[in-house]
Structure 1
Amino acid sequence: MPDPFVSRSLDEIRFWSRIMKEHSLFLKLGFRCEDTQLINEANNFYSVFEAIENKSHLFTVDTDPQVIRTFNEEVYIAAANIWSFKRKVLGLIIQCKLPGGNNLPLLVDHTSREANYFRNRLAELNQGRLEPLPDAIIDENVFFLRIMADHAKFIGHLLDPSERKLVEQARNFSHDFDQLLYQAIDLDSMRPQSQTHPLLDQFLDQNRVSVKSLRDFKATARDLIDACRIKSIIHPLLADHVFREAERFLYIIDAFEISLNQSKM
């Protein structure tokens, strides 16, 4: 039987190392041409996470767990380093030291939250201290609902204002996911009394419906951007990037649903 620790570690690294690699590219594209040091740092992180992504595919679920534990430690350092870089960039933007750049403060903060999530997950795996299911359901949904709300805001902002219908749809998704996030935060503050099977089951069902709708909207936007059928400044890779993160959230919701039903039985 494959070791769950190994398979879970490889799954997390393969997904998030690609995300970190793409963050490096997006940040670089948002810097001014004179920001050569920051551009070089972003390029370096792109290479680091590309190498991590490639290395992760050399392992299998039958790899020695100790080898994977060591790999996790290496990746943790890289995730911590890119988190520090993103927070440095955020500070420069907020202090008006990068005037004229195209990296939105919320976008930089968003990418740093994902880097922090990644490094924390690696630490939890190596320490064998994953959260109990009820806690994980709430915490993961709070994290990803905010990510989805951010995505809707970014899409609405980066579409050309003349794409009025799509901009309106993005704003509606932003509002919907803000509301879902507030509900999740309320559920969080009511712990542990809120962690009943019926409430958690409804929580997952409700979020799944909204995430599927947003995922489909992102898929449509991605395809329209690829075909040059709408006006925007959204990089085609960014359109695919946010689509994959919605798919990831749906995968996590479905996995929680299965585990929740098994625990009930």
Structure 2
Amino acid sequence: MVATPIGNLRDLSSRARDVLAQVDLIAAEDTRVTGQLLKHLGIGTPMLSLREHNERAMAEKLVARLAEGAAIAQVSDAGTPAISDPGAHLVAAVHAAGLPVVPIPGASALTTGLCAAGFTCPHTLFYGFLPPKRAQRQAALAPLAELPYVLVCYEAPHRIVETLDDLVALFGGDRPAVLARELTKTFETIRRAPLAELALFVRADTNQQRGEFVLLLDAAPPRPAATAADAHDTVLAPLVAELPLKQAVALAQSITGAPRNALYARALQLKETD
């Protein structure tokens, strides 16, 4: 599994270059894209296409070649294979056959964007590509808004404006975020700002709506810790609304174990509020 550059060709490691030159076969996501890289490197290793739609069928054939002693490198168009790119099914099949899998590390848009974001939360949730349709995208994002993790996702240029609008609506315009565009390429953009500001920035400049995007959102701020009184209210309030005061307090005490006098005083406040 060979990582290839996500833009700047000088990011290819010497180990990756050697492997691509020495293997018997390269399984490439798009042979035309990988062909350009191999031409730049002066490498003539044979290639075949292994993409999302044929990976399961090709995996069986490649495992058979490996079992015969062939050495095969798998690459995606850019970055580390099997991370939001083809490769995972092939790796699983190779493991199942009891054959070795050797990762050749290198560029990844995930780690490249994350190291440039400056978020101090030690935990990260990598979503990958968000759903293309707006309703599905919003449904996927909604449960992520309050998680205590940095959220990293990829997005395509023709959806970036809508996706930023969805993030503002669901995460709030003040959530710190980073837009990382065209990483390691000539027109690289890394901009950190509140989500609402990023959405305006991209909408106002069509040049910022081109290329490949990594979106990074800071972890949700911690919620204030619930007090014991808050927890008791969850039990007490509906009881006070439906039962006589003494009965409500007695039942709430049996459930929560809280002091009767405190519950009674709070019940009186709830009653007065009602």
TM-score normalised by structure 1 residue count: 0.27
Richer in strand (by share): 2
